[in-house]
Amino acid sequence: MMKRFLILLTMILTMMFSCTQVTDDGDKSDNGNQQTNENQNQDNQNVDNNGVGGNTNQNGGNSGNEKVFYTYDIPSNSTTVTIPDGVTVIGSSAFADFYNLESVIIPDSVTYISDNAFRYCTKLTNIVIPDSVTYIGYEAFYGCESLTSVTIGKSVTAIGNSVFSGCSNLESVIIPDSVTYIGYEAFYKCESLTSMTIGKSVTSIEDSAFGYCSSLESITIPDNVIYIGEKTFWGCESLISIIIGNGVVYIGNNAFGDGGNSILHLKNVHISDLAAWCNIEFTDGYSNPLKTGADLYLNDNLITDLVIPDSVTSIVDGAFLNCSSLTSVTIPDSVTKIGRDVFFLCNKLTSVTFEDTSTWYYTKNSDYTDGTVIDVTDPAQNVTYFERNFESTNDYRYWYKK
């Protein structure tokens, strides 16, 4: 219950933050769009053939001095654009469908990039987001299929939903330490992405954030990350190695699979805290990266003889499911509950030793009640209990002792 409470609290705080940002954007976009043509032209910048300049609307906004940039007078076939100094907001859909735009210069005065700002700028090859920017809106660079590199400024606090979705030629991204949140489908179908660095302040990675990043071979989840959403790495067929930080407490359905027909080939899963691993809530089999038959490493050492730490009191469902490296397991006195399928499909496993062989029970009930007594004195026999195909027999077993 405490784990779920912490997850909910984190998500509520994140949503409060996100809603505040969206409301600001709404104020800025709405105020800009409500200006009359006469007022828009009062602040019009001179435009040359390359699209230097544009329209900037003085906008009261929340701070009273926002200057929103639109592209009403810039030809949609422009190849280069320089946004004037003094602009603080790039307006909603400002450059959307500028199919010939190859280069844009964003000044240090900009703090806010609105929703859809560069959507479908299909010839844009690189973008530098200055350190002044704190917010990047929904689908800001969606479908920028020629984008190969992006520099994200050190003040950005969130990568919103679908911001870089469909940037199929994007090769590498460094998410700065200022970012706390990676939104839904943020990098979805970035099919050329081979390098991704996640900043150490990120706490939440939302559903499908890296879905179909089919060239991504490895990734590190920092210790501050608490939540990994559903289908986060769905379709990442080249992913072979992952480091899971100590802070993760929840991983959503199919984070490392595709609903039972996994196309992932993970070989190595690295952790540095075994007790933390034993307490992650894996919501289904494919939320655990070990499900694909990967080896588990603790502080870069391959785990073959697994000794559960004395600090662990319960082991979550499927914690070591299909872990190909395990040959033996020792369960300490401190453990009083063991979830279902904990060692299922660990085909090299030859012994499971209980330090406390007093009265243990197994049950079909996830609330650990109404159990049947089971003898756990024989380590070899214990393997057969855990390796039994519970799924085919519909005999899901939860273990507990009194």
User: For 98-116, what is each residue's pLDDT tens digit?
Assistant: 999 999 999 999 999 999 9
Residue 10: band (very low, low, confident or very high) from pLDDT cuts 50, 70, 90:
low
Residues sharing a CB contact under 8 Å with residue 178, sequence separation 6 or more, in sequence order: 154, 155, 156, 157, 199, 201
- Give helix then strand counts, H and E, for the chain: 5, 30
Q: What is the pLDDT of residue 170?
A: 98
Q: How far apart are CA 270 and CA 87, in angstroms?
A: 45
In 41-176, beta strands by DSSP E: 55-59, 66-70, 80-82, 89-90, 103-105, 112-113, 126-128, 135-136, 149-151, 158-159, 172-174
- Write the DSSP string, 268-299: EEEES-HHHHTT-EE-SGGGSGGGGT-EEEET
Angstrom distance (rounded) from CA 344 to CA 327:
13
Q: What is the mean pLDDT of the chain?
A: 85
Three-class secondary structure of residue 218 per DSSP: strand
pLDDT at 263: 58
pLDDT at residue 391 in the model: 44
Cα–Cα distance measured from residue 199 to residue 321, given in angstroms and rounded to the nearest whole number: 29
Strands of the sheet with 158-159, listed across from one edge:
55-59, 66-70, 89-90, 112-113, 135-136, 158-159, 181-182, 204-205, 227-228, 250-251, 281-282
CA 374 to chain centre: 41
Spell out the domain ranges in the chain.
Answer: 2-216, 303-402
- What is the rounded distance in angstroms from the CA atom of residue 173 to the CA atom of residue 153? 12
Residue with tokens 């706390």: 180
Across residues 171-191, what is the average pLDDT? 97
> What pLDDT digit, counting tens, does each position of 120-141 carry?
999 999 999 999 999 999 999 9
Determine the Cα–Cα distance for residues 58 and 41; give it in Å rounded to an integer: 11
φ, ψ for residue 223 (rounded to 5)? -65, -25
Instruction: Tell me the backbone φ, ψ of residue 289, rounded to 5 degrees.
Output: -65, -20
Residue 61 has a pLDDT of 39
Residues composing the chain? 402
Helix (H, G, I), strand (E, B) or coil at 401: strand
The strand pairing partners of 241, in sequence order, are: 218, 268
pLDDT at 25 over 70: no
pTM for the whole structure:
0.84
> For residue 311, what pLDDT band results from cuts at 50, 70 and 90?
very high
> What is the dotted CATH code of the domain comprising 2-216?
3.80.10.10
**pLDDT band with cut points at 50, 70 and 90 for residue 41:** very low
Cα 5 to Cα 336: distance, rounded to the nearest angstrom: 22
User: pLDDT tens across 202-255, in order?
Assistant: 999 999 999 999 999 999 999 999 999 999 999 998 999 999 999 999 999 999
Residue 263 amino acid letter: I
Strands 314-315, 126-128: pairing is unpaired
For residue 364, the model assigns a pLDDT of 87
Element (H, E) at 400: strand 398-401
3-state secondary structure at position 23: helix
Question: Which residues have CB under 8 Å from 16's CB, separation 6+?
Answer: none
